Amino acid sequence: MIDIDSFLPEELTIAQKHPLEQNLDLPIPDPQSASVQEIREIQRRDRIPGVVKRFIFWDADTFWEYWWCVPGRILLPEDVEVLTCDRPRVESIIAKLIWLFGGLCFSKNTHRDGEQLPVHDWQDVLQFAQKQGFESYLLDIDFMPLAIKRDFRHSHPTESNTDTSHIAVEPAHWHIEFLQLVPTTGGFELQEQKTVCSCQIWTGKPFLKHVSSDISSVRYDLWIARPMNITQPSWLK
């Protein structure tokens, strides 16, 4: 009998503790009411981390944790230490997903329409990232649930006719983006001009289907799904 739970052992689901854990819930202004510079000054003064714990669902009953870089914040040295030390655990989970479903690697010049050749070894993904210049890196991970939408971009509706001729479908998938750091006052920040380098793990093929003809085409550039963003503390929900 197969022990299903052993595929994702419980010890892999728990993120490493943050050394500034006591500061995670300290008040910080909303980005809409304060500038990036003001927020970062408060971070430096009060030692407020630039990461927050995010939860990604494995199935309806299981989720796993990872530390997510909050947009607009600096990363304190303690943040980078946590992200670096916890990365082997995170990558071991990703490696399981890559083995199970296969992963697709994308750079700026990768075609996103038509069939793509998946890899099933995380080391192959890392070799791809190295070719894009990522000798050192952080990971940003999003889980996208199933999305089905009318696709107006390919239907070209007019003011008198808003009907669409296409339906866009994106199965559930994980989007993993490689990020780089640059030093800044009091810590680090994510490189502003990001090099496009990502790995996508799909549970099925995204496709565009023509309503009248029933003809379908595989497309990885639909971008209709939105990340499932479950974070801690509650103010980031």
pLDDT for 192 equals 81
Whether the pTM exceeds 0.85: the reply is yes
Which sequence spans correspond to the domains of the chain?
A: 4-236
What is the overall mean pLDDT for the chain? Answer: 88
Q: How far apart are CA 90 and CA 197, in angstroms?
A: 18
pLDDT at 232: 65
Per-residue pLDDT band for 229 (boundaries 50, 70, 90) equals confident
What is the tens place of the pLDDT at every residue in 64-81? 999 999 988 999 999 999
pLDDT tens track for 156-174 = 544 444 556 899 999 999 9
Mean pLDDT of 122-139: 95
Residue of 218 and 228 predicted with greater confidence: 218
So what's the pLDDT on residue 7?
80
User: What distance in Å separates the CA atoms of residue 212 and residue 154, rounded to the nearest whole number?
Assistant: 14
What pLDDT, on the 0 to 100 scale, is given for residue 159?
A: 44
